[in-house]
Structure 1
Amino acid sequence: MTITGATRLLAIIGDPVAPLRSPAVFNAAFERLGHDMAFVAFQIKAGDLECAWPAFVAMANLDGLVITMPHKEAVLPLLAALGPTAQLTHSVNTIRRRADGAFEGDMFDGEGFRDGLERAGHPPRGKRILQVGCGAAGTAIACALARAGAATLTLYDSAAARLEALTALLHAHFPETKVQAGHPDPRGFDIVVNATPLGLRPGDPMSIDASLLSPSQIVADVIPNPEVTPLIAAARAIGCATTTGRDMHEGQARLAAAYLGIKGWDV
């Protein structure tokens, strides 16, 4: 890939950025598709986004941004408009520049996760699901699972306020799905979801007790790197079917590429 003064730019912003897969995935796609585009990562600490934002707005050759933790909620007041899922979940993971130069954004974490599940042969419709983690990504995932027809959705988060807020949101918008607060005990569920950051760093504890899993269950993790987290490794050792953060990431990338107007995307 040769970068010139005419190359259009996309970027991902977050902290940390070293484990992120997006630069490699997008740049490989641009080279394969023959697009004169490049994708870079900017490490911006929590609390510094508002200070950095005017620089992104001023970069006329920057067409869009992918947003990851800890900025998915903090970016909201900086945008000119929000898409429907961003309005529902109060978080954003993809931003595009409008014709007037302003930025608008939407959220594809949840639908990307659902897409990964379904492509792996595990549609959530009619399933009993345990989800651990109710942050920005967890909120989007829970909404996508309810929208896709999950029969029951049991939620757990160590922060009671996040858990209560997500439960109320789902009750209001998805009354067909039975939603309840619970505990990180996977017994009795069809699908078990880790939507926490646990597993991202070496030495992280598991979000659930893997010894309580059974081979008939599907275990899904949102962590993209390492792809095989301790939870996924333990689930596979028991005989569970699994989907990984890579499956979710590829689903997100397909949806984000369409939103950003990248033609020919087939990842």
Structure 2
Amino acid sequence: MKITGNTQVFFVIADPIGQVRAPELFNRVFELHGVDAVVVPLQVAADDFEPTVRALFRSPSTGGVFLSIPHKPAALTVADRCSELAEVAGAVNALRRGRDGAIEGELFDGLGFVKALDDAHIAYAGRRVLLIGAGGAASAAAATLAARGTSEIAIFDPVADKAMQLASRIVSAFRIDAYAAASNDPAGYDLVVNVSPLGMKTDDPVPFDVARLDDGAAVFDVLMKNQPTPLVRAARARGLTAEPGFEMLIQQAPLYLRFFGLEAAASGIENDASALRAMIYPPELLDSHRLS
């Protein structure tokens, strides 16, 4: 990679930063499509987040900022304006400088999620969905599902108040049937989504009882670590459609690129994302994706 005085610099901000895949993924995109830009990881503590972002955007060399845990909610307050979807979800995962100099924010987690469902031919419009977890990923997924016509969204979280608050925001914004589920029982739902951290560690319990899934139900596990997780394996052993979270990142890539004004690279990834999938999919899951 050749870096010059004209190279645009994009930053990925997280704390911790070591697990974030965006630098290697997008630097590969820039290399493949001849974009004079580089993505740099930046570990920033929560107390330093806002001043760091404002300092970065004072430089015309800054092309934009990708955001990961735990900074997505805080970025909502740093942005001068953002989309309704980001407002409802209460999070932002990309920041750019607008033409008027304002900081603009957007959230692509939910859009990447539903595009991953589309890629796997998992229906969600008019369906009943159970989300396991009520954090940032769940907020993005719930808001986007509601905007795309899901008929019912149940949210289960061990901290019941979190689930109730998220459900309330979804009802207020979209006027659909959204509520805090009393348990993690997946029976009766068409799609069950693990948006909790369960499965990140090898000794984690399965987020719900796979035996209770309806015949024909689908499972999506947003995790990108330890895949295929026991949840994905168990659901597939029942003959059900069960997908890992990798495709969320693949489907978000052109959304980020277009947001940052890199249209040619965005179109290139939409036409052929095979190089990116080869980077992040384990061989076992890459083969199954090719067959889907």
Give the TM-score of the pair, scaled to structure 2.
Answer: 0.84
What secondary structure is seen at the aligned counterpart in 1 of 2:47?
coil
CA distance in 2, matches of 1:238, 1:134: 27
Q: 1: distance between equivalents of 2:16 and 2:129?
A: 29
**Is residue 153–residue 179 contact of structure 1 (8 Å, CA) maintained in 2?**
yes
The CA RMSD measured in Å over matched residues stands at 2.0
After superposition, where does 1:92-241 map in structure 2 within 5 Å?
92-175=92-175, 177-182=176-181, 183-213=183-213, 216-241=216-241
Aligned to 2:72: 72
Please tell me whether the aligned partners of residues 133 and 194 of structure 1 are also in contact (alpha carbons under 8 angstroms).
yes
* Mean CA deviation greater in 196-205 or 140-149: 196-205
Aligned-residue offset at 1:258: 1.4
Contact 1:108–1:256 (Cα < 8 Å) also in 2 = yes
Q: 1:51 to 1:40 in 2, by over 3 A?
A: same
The Cα shift of 1:36 comes to 0.8
Does the C-alpha gap of structure 1 residues 173 and 78 become closer, same or farther in structure 2, counting only changes over 3 Å?
Answer: closer
1:147-196 deviations in Å (ceiling 9; x for gaps): 21112211111222221111111212222x32222121112211110112
Task: Tell me the distance in 2 between the aligned counterparts of 1:64 and 1:93.
Answer: 11
Measured against aligned partners, the alpha-carbon deviations of 1:75-112 in whole angstroms (never above 9, x if no partner) come to 22222222222222221011112234442101111111
Aligned residues: 266
Aligned mates of 2:263, 2:114 — CA distance in 1 = 22
- More displaced stretch, 228-237 vs 238-247: 228-237
Higher helix share: 2
Q: Equivalent pairs: percent with the same residue?
A: 35
3-state DSSP class of the match of 2:144?
A: helix
Secondary structure class of the residue paired with 1:205: coil
Contact kept, 8 Å, 2:131 with 2:194, in 1: the verdict is yes
From the superposition, tell whether residues 45 and 208 of structure 1 become closer, same or farther in structure 2 (CA, over 3 Å). Answer: farther
1:28 corresponds to which residue? 28
Structure 1 pair 45–231 and aligned structure 2 pair: CA distance change class (3 A): farther
Stretch of structure 1 that moved more, 117-126 or 232-241: 232-241
Amino acid at match of 1:91: A
Partner Cα separation in structure 2 for residue 13 and residue 114 of structure 1: 24
CA distance in 2: counterparts of 1:138 and 1:122, whole angstroms: 17
Task: Assess if the C-alpha contact under 8 Å between 2:76 and 2:87 holds in 1.
Answer: no
- Corresponding position: 1:9 with 2:9: yes
Could you give the per-residue CA deviations for residues 203-240 of structure 1, whole angstroms, max 9, x where no partner exists? 33332233433552211111123442332222222222
Q: Give 5+ residue unaligned stretches, structure 1.
A: none
Q: TM-score, normalised by structure 1?
A: 0.91
Report 1 or 2 for greater relative contact order, CA contacts < 8 Å, sequence distance ≥ 6. Answer: 1
1:181 maps to a residue whose letter is A
8 Å CA contact retained: 2:190, 2:214? no
- Is contact 1:125-1:148 (8 Å) kept? yes
Deviation, structure 1 residue 119: 1.6
**Counterpart-to-counterpart distance in 2, 1:37 and 1:173:** 37
Take 2:185 and 2:52, find their aligned partners in 1: how far apart are those partners? 41
Contact residue 20 and residue 224 of structure 1 kept, 8 A: no
In structure 2, list runs of 5 or more residues that go unmatched. Answer: 274-292
2:225, 2:7 → 1: CA distance? 28
CA distance in structure 2 between the aligned counterparts of 1:230 and 1:52, rounded to whole angstroms: 39
Secondary structure of the 2:66 match is strand
